[in-house]
């Protein structure tokens, strides 16, 4: 088990180096970072900036420097905010995480019971209805869902604020929007992992020896269906953050996503790089924790 953990940690470091390389590539993929950062500057200024930022060095040297800076949390100064980029990103992180966690919680609250019921009552009217809703949910663009919710609850019914970030009421529509995006995915996973275990021998044995249906489902089936669910939920976290970026833009939520989208319009690449790196780092760490949990929870590995 220890060698497995060590191997995972090495893998984590390799993947993080790769993530840094991709983040580095954002600024260098066009070939000339300077014209990307200041498209209308005179040639003399460009030469000066190129020298000041070290863009004349070989790419490998630049990447090594970038890797060192990233490890120190230094992504350079934001052109627009005139402040170090990383703190600006981290400042907005709690908002994005709050939105993501709320949406995830709402999704799980809907997906787990509904997934269990549709797995037990397979091919019932409810199951067919849920399948259709899953199709609908995965086919709707998130930003459009958000706008339609604004139209209904803020413009027509005047129940909730259109956008902004003041008080709990402004959290409601963004959470629902993001949840409509993540719930169908989770529902499908809960249903299929429940279906996989529900007809296995030990579940039948439990039923045969007279264990109540409720206990069979919660104790025998759900616990075993939970393992794949946790793994996939970890993988879906990246998707959720992607959805959060759009949701924040629709509702003017002051999170990392809105910061990055704004920075892209202002060609403020230190912010873009810091934001992309931090979000990827979160996805990597979430998956690492899920991996560790899996090793810990899975008796087949633990025993060895």
Partner 1 sequence: MAIGTLARPGLAAAALPDSDRSRAWRKLAGNPAAVAGAVILLLVIAVAVAAPYVAPHDPARQSLIRRFTPPLWIQGGSSAYPLGTDQVGRDILSRIIYGARISLLVGIAAVAVSLVVGVTLGLLSGFLRGRVDAVIMTVVDVTLSFPQLLLALAFVAALGPSLLTIIVVLGLTGWERYTRVVRAEVLALREKDFVEAARAIGASPARMVLRHLLPNTFSSIIVMSTLQVAQAILQEAALSFLGVGTGTAHPTWGQMIALGRDFVSVAWWLATFPGLAILLTVLAINLVGDRLRDALDPRVR
Binding of residue 130 to partner 1 (CB under 8 A): no
Q: Which of 4, 9, 30, 213 binds partner 1 (CB under 8 A)?
A: 30
Window 59-78: residues binding partner 1 (CB under 8 A): none
Element (H, E) at 39: none
User: Could you say which residues in the range 139-198 bind partner 1, by CB under 8 A?
Assistant: 139-144, 147-148, 150-151, 155, 162
| Residues 281 and 16: beta-carbon distance below 8 Å | yes
**Per CB under 8 A, which of residues 35..64 are in contact with partner 1?**
36
| From 124, 138, 212, 298, residue interacting with partner 1 (rule: CB under 8 A) | 138
Question: Count of H helices and E strands in the chain?
Answer: 14, 0
Nearer to partner 1, 203 or 261 (CB): 261
Scanning residues 248 to 277, which ones bind partner 1 (CB under 8 A)? 249-250, 260-261, 264-265, 267, 269, 272, 276
- The closest alpha carbon to 76, from 273, 268, 272, 270, belongs to 270
CB burial of residue 133 (10 Å; 0-12, 13-18, 19+): middle
> In whole angstroms, how close is the CB of 113 to partner 1 at the nearest point?
24
Among 80, 238, 290, 294, binds partner 1 (CB under 8 A): 238
Among 246, 253, 259, 274, binds partner 1 (CB under 8 A): 246
Cross-strand bridge partners of residue 77: 84
Contact 122, 194 (CB under 8 A): no
Q: How many CB atoms lie within 10 A of CB 42?
A: 9
| CB nearer partner 1, residue 29 or residue 109 | 29
Alpha helix ranges (H) inside the chain: 2-28, 33-37, 43-53, 59-71, 85-120, 125-139, 142-149, 169-198, 201-208, 213-215, 223-251, 256-265, 269-297, 299-302
- Name the site residues for partner 1 (rule: CB under 8 A): 11, 14-15, 18-19, 21-22, 26-27, 29-30, 36, 135-136, 138-144, 147-148, 150-151, 155, 162, 235, 238-239, 241-242, 245-246, 249-250, 260-261, 264-265, 267, 269, 272, 276, 279-280, 283-284, 287
């Amino acid at each position: 088990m220890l060698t497995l953990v060590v191997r995972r940690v090495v893998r984590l470091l390799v993947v993080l180096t790769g993530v840094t390389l991709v983040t580095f590539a954002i600024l260098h993929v066009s070939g000339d970072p300077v014209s990307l950062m200041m498209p209308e500057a005179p040639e003399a200024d460009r030469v000066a900036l190129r020298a000041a930022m070290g863009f004349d060095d070989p790419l490998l040297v630049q990447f090594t420097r970038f890797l060192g800076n990233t490890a120190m949390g230094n992504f350079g100064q934001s052109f627009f905010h005139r402040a170090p980029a990383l703190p600006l990103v981290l400042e907005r992180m709690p908002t994005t995480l709050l939105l993501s966690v709320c949406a995830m919680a709402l999704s799980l609250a809907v997906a787990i019971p509904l997934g269990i019921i549709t797995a037990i009552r397979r091919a019932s009217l409810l199951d067919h209805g849920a399948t259709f809703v899953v199709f609908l949910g995965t086919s709707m663009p998130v930003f459009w869902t958000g706008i339609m919710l604004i139209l209904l609850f803020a413009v027509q019914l005047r129940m909730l604020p259109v956008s902004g970030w003041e008080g709990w009421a402004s959290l409601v529509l963004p959470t629902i929007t993001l949840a409509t995006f993540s719930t169908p995915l989770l529902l499908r996973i809960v249903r299929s992992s429940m279906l996989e275990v529900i007809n296995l021998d030990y579940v039948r044995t439990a039923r045969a020896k007279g264990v109540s249906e409720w206990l069979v489902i919660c104790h025998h089936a759900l616990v075993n269906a939970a393992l794949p669910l946790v793994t996939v939920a970890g993988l879906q976290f990246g998707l959720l953050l992607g959805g959060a970026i759009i949701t924040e833009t629709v509702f003017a939520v002051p999170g990392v996503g809105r910061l990055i989208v704004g920075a892209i319009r202002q060609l403020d690449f230190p912010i873009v790089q810091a934001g992309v790196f931090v979000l990827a780092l979160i996805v990597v760490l979430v998956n690492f924790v899920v991996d560790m949990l899996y090793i810990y929870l899975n008796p087949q590995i633990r025993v060895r």
